[in-house]
Amino acid sequence: MKKSIVSCVVTALVSAGIAGIGSAPAGAAPVSTYEQAASAPPQVDPELRNRVAGGGRVRVNVVTETRKEMPDAARSGRVLQTLSRLPVVTLSVDEAALERLTGLPGVVSVTEDRPVPPVLAQSVSLIGGDRTREAGMTGAGSVVAVLDTGVAVNHPFLRGRVVAEACFSPADPDYSASSLCPGGTDQQEGAGAADAESGPCADAALDCDHGTHVAGIVAGNGQNLAGAPAAGVAPAAELVAIQVFSKFESEDFCGPGAAPCVLSFTSAQLAGLDKVLQLKEAGTPVVAANLSLGGGRYTAPCDDDPRKQAIDDLLEAGVATVVAAGNDGFGDAVNAPACVSSAVTVGSTTVQDEVSGFSNRGPLLDVFAPGTAVVSSMPGGGWAPMSGTSMAAPHVTGAFAVLRQAFPGKTAAELEAAMKTTGRAIAYPGATTPRLQLDDAALGAGPGPEPAPAPTYDNWTSRAIPDPGVVESSIVVEGILGNAPANLEVYADVHHSWRGDLKIDLIAPDGRTYPLRAPAAGDDDDFIHENYRVNASSSPANGTWRLRVQDVKRNDTGNIFGWMLTVPQLTNWTRYDIPDRGTAESSIVVGGIPGNAPVNVKVYVDVHHSWRGDVKVDLIGPNGRVYPVLAPSPKDSEDIIHETYTVNAGSSPASGTWRLRVEDVAAGDTGYLDGWMLTL
């Protein structure tokens, strides 16, 4: 292949690749083939070191930049599993093996192989989809378009609901690309054109299952299906299935050891979006188009993207374009076309309402939805879990169908606004983004006063680091009562030509020093982008905090680019019914914080009850000590509690299981605990 063609196609695929990990679609695994963080330090779960301390062992998934680094990584522990194409190996490791992995060139991330219950019913109920379904809001009367790797149109979860099909799958021998259209042509329309179980996609090695999984999350219906998830978000909506991927044979595009693979040209996506507009203009009631694909890294809107106009035209016609943010773990960036300002950009959260580690996020993100270990339909009539922003986006796509049924006169922009204003606030360094709460958006509960986002303080003034020498950057904290939290988060962004020379400490307002990072002689990378967790409960919260960076050796220079302090919050948004004259409890597990809890624990409570004056609320510490939060008030006839309370919980250990107990003390009214938040 000519060099100029290779260069052009790599550029094209960076902006048009799948929003997934590696060369597979966005939910499949955590590595980008075309934008590898070659110089970034490995991302390591902070809790792993605690798990392996003192001789313990833990299962971990190790992601490497390419498959070439996998054998060296595999030698660090006992191999439990390897994958056929993706650069991921599962190991059993002890403390020494974990330390070796963190310093091994080519390792991108080391994360716990954590067992979780992978059920679609759980992700749908988390956003309130079970309540909208019970209320008859099922997306009936709307059509959603899935632009992906095709759909298994005869899958029992989807059977009878695909009303239109098309395939735009360019073949180009210069790019080793061939068509996935069942008929073998570059374009095909009509019945069977996007069937993932026909033509080349019938080859299981191509992983054309992605689109079927996405479609099931949007609109699957598991009624009377043994072993199936209960339903997708909009189980009565109909589907337009559009194949926009081609088959690639070359490792130049698929990555080492990953050929053949499926990738999507921007031109195919444009043809697919244009087809959606044609259908809409011809009278098909399309409300949203789902694009769980993308590539690149964008911190600002990319409105020069060639897909911008197509997305704008659809929005003007009443169709929202929902795009996965991408799975690179960027804290301040998303992929394209998620960066298009008129697209609805979706990130992923876990069932614990934490940002999924792989999810891109930041100011360009519009909304979060569940995307971790979601079970949905797969070709062949089966079911399987997948994780990624690809799984989060179809929750939002299905939500548009439900909201169109609830509010037929509203525009797509107004439906998007309803999702944002009623969503649960998810705070993370640099931004706060709502997580879809469909029942509140569709059933008129409206946005109650959300808890304030996690307090964040930052200083992005660059400070040069002397060679050798010490430099400090300060942040003034105000408005927090009592001492600092026991799990204060410190994000440091430091650039240095040899970061192993650096020692980093946090200095509290009372002068107490909290070590963050020690020098590491062999560490020759050139920047630090790290979150550190500090038990700072011995120091006052208010006052001047300082980040001190010391260069302990000569010959290299750098600067503090900026840093941030965040007071993190722990949540449980699982809904629990409160029996009439009964009790409901919800728990949050806190780990890794030594000593007792602070004297200014914050507890945010979200309770819905037909007579809230009947409600008594207590916080129960890990040692069983009960801290009263709210006493009954018999004359209070209001029906919602959205309040933050301060509790002196210093008599209980910080780590362990905390419980919120809600008791109905009088007969005649019922309600539910919608969720709560704990800030230590």
Which DSSP string do the residues of 216-256 spell out, in sequence order?
Answer: HHHH-B-TT-TT--SB-SSTT-EEEEEE--EEE--HHHH-T
Question: Containing H/E element for 6?
Answer: helix 3-16
Structure tokens at 307: 């897909």
Domain count, the chain: 4
More confident residue, 73 or 128: 73
- 448: in domain: no
**Average pLDDT for 305-315:** 86
334, 357 contact by CB (below 8 A):
no
Q: Is it the case that residue 18 has pLDDT exceeding 70?
A: no
Structure tokens at 60: 């971990």
- Domain shared by 165 and 143, yes or no: yes
**Average pLDDT for 207-224:** 90
**Average pLDDT for 627-653:** 87
pLDDT at 8: 31
The three-class DSSP label of residue 488 is: strand
For the ranges 239-243, 331-335, 427-431, 521-525, which has the lowest average pLDDT? 427-431
**Cβ burial, residue 174 (10 Å; 0-12/13-18/19+):** exposed
- 395: in domain: yes
152-193 pLDDT, tens digit each: 999 999 989 999 999 998 888 767 889 999 999 989 999 999
- Top mean-pLDDT range of 103-107, 269-273, 353-357, 361-365: 361-365
- Domain shared by 627 and 478, yes or no: no
- Domain shared by 559 and 578, yes or no: no
527-558 pLDDT, tens digit each: 888 888 888 878 888 899 999 999 999 999 99
More confident residue, 23 or 45: 45
- 431: in domain: yes
Q: Is it the case that residue 17 has pLDDT exceeding 80?
A: no
- Domain shared by 411 and 293, yes or no: yes
The three-class DSSP label of residue 192 is: coil
More confident residue, 634 or 121: 634
- Domain shared by 21 and 128, yes or no: no
Q: Among 89, 112, 135, where does a domain finish?
A: 112
CATH for 32: 3.30.70.80
* Alpha-carbon span 453 to 392, nearest angstrom: 22
What Cα–Cα distance (Å) separates residue 330 from each residue in 158, 319, 364, 430? 34, 28, 11, 12
The three-class DSSP label of residue 42 is: coil
Q: Is it the case that residue 423 has pLDDT exceeding 90?
A: no
Mean pLDDT, the chain, rounded, equals 83
Confidence of residue 451 (pLDDT cuts 50, 70, 90): low
- 450: in domain: no
pLDDT at 19: 42
Q: Is it the case that residue 4 has pLDDT exceeding 70?
A: no
Give the DSSP letter of residue 181.
S
Confidence of residue 56 (pLDDT cuts 50, 70, 90): confident
Q: Which residues are catalytic?
A: 148, 210, 390
pLDDT at 361: 93
Q: Is it the case that residue 315 has pLDDT exceeding 80?
A: yes
- Domain shared by 84 and 131, yes or no: no
Phi, psi of 505, deg, nearest 5 = -130, 150
- 417: in domain: yes
pLDDT at 37: 38
**Interaxial angle between packed helices 266-281 and 3-16, expressed in degrees from 0 to 180 and rounded to the nearest 10:** 40
pLDDT at 511: 96
Q: Is it the case that residue 29 has pLDDT exceeding 70?
A: no
pLDDT at 3: 27
- 379: in domain: yes
Q: Among 521, 546, 566, where does a domain finish?
A: 566
369-401 pLDDT, tens digit each: 999 888 889 999 888 888 889 999 999 999 999
Q: Is it the case that residue 502 has pLDDT exceeding 70?
A: yes
Half-sphere exposure at residue 519, Cβ-oriented, CA atoms within 13 angstroms:
10
More confident residue, 458 or 121: 458
Q: Is it the case that residue 508 has pLDDT exceeding 80?
A: yes
- Domain shared by 427 and 313, yes or no: yes
More confident residue, 18 or 132: 132
496, 551 contact by CB (below 8 A):
yes
Q: Is it the case that residue 1 has pLDDT exceeding 60?
A: no
* Alpha-carbon span 357 to 355, nearest angstrom: 6
46, 102 contact by CB (below 8 A):
no
pLDDT at 125: 62
Q: Is it the case that residue 647 has pLDDT exceeding 50?
A: yes
pLDDT at 86: 53
- Domain shared by 514 and 480, yes or no: yes
User: Residue 566 contacts by C-beta under 8 Å, 6 or more apart in sequence?
Assistant: 427, 429, 454, 455, 456, 457, 488, 489, 491
- 436: in domain: yes
Structure tokens at 505: 């400490």
**Average pLDDT for 112-120:** 39
Which residue, 39, 62, 52, 51, is CA-closest to 109?
A: 62
Confidence of residue 457 (pLDDT cuts 50, 70, 90): confident
The three-class DSSP label of residue 597 is: coil
pLDDT at 212: 94
Q: Is it the case that residue 38 has pLDDT exceeding 90?
A: no
The position carrying tokens 């809790």 is 47
- Domain shared by 498 and 584, yes or no: no
194, 208 contact by CB (below 8 A):
no
pLDDT at 452: 53
CATH for 188: 3.40.50.200
62-108 pLDDT, tens digit each: 878 887 888 988 888 888 767 555 576 778 889 989 989 988 888 88
- Domain shared by 547 and 626, yes or no: no
End-to-end CA distance of the chain: 59
- Domain shared by 132 and 96, yes or no: no
- Domain shared by 190 and 290, yes or no: yes
**Interaxial angle between packed helices 412-422 and 389-406, expressed in degrees from 0 to 180 and rounded to the nearest 10:** 110
Q: Is it the case that residue 9 has pLDDT exceeding 60?
A: no
Confidence of residue 471 (pLDDT cuts 50, 70, 90): very high
- The domain of 86 spans 3-112
More confident residue, 241 or 117: 241
More confident residue, 662 or 541: 662
pLDDT at 84: 55
Q: Among 550, 566, 582, where does a domain finish?
A: 566
Cis peptide leading into 594, omega within 30 of 0? no
**Average pLDDT for 429-456:** 72
The alpha carbon of 297 is separated from its chain's Cα centroid by a whole number of angstroms, namely 16
- 352: in domain: yes
Q: Is it the case that residue 464 has pLDDT exceeding 90?
A: yes
The position carrying tokens 């309540």 is 131
User: Residue 385 contacts by C-beta under 8 Å, 6 or more apart in sequence?
Assistant: 118, 373, 374, 375
312, 13 contact by CB (below 8 A):
no
pLDDT at 28: 35
HEC string of 80-117? EEECCCCCEEEEEECHHHHHHHHCCCCEEEEEECCCCC
**Backbone region of residue 212 per phi and psi (left: phi > 0; alpha: psi in -120 to 50; beta: other values):** alpha
pLDDT at 52: 84
pLDDT at 123: 58
- Top mean-pLDDT range of 116-130, 302-316, 380-394, 461-475: 461-475
CATH for 582: 2.60.120.260
Q: Is it the case that residue 229 has pLDDT exceeding 90?
A: no
Confidence of residue 470 (pLDDT cuts 50, 70, 90): very high
Give the DSSP letter of residue 201.
G
pLDDT at 11: 30
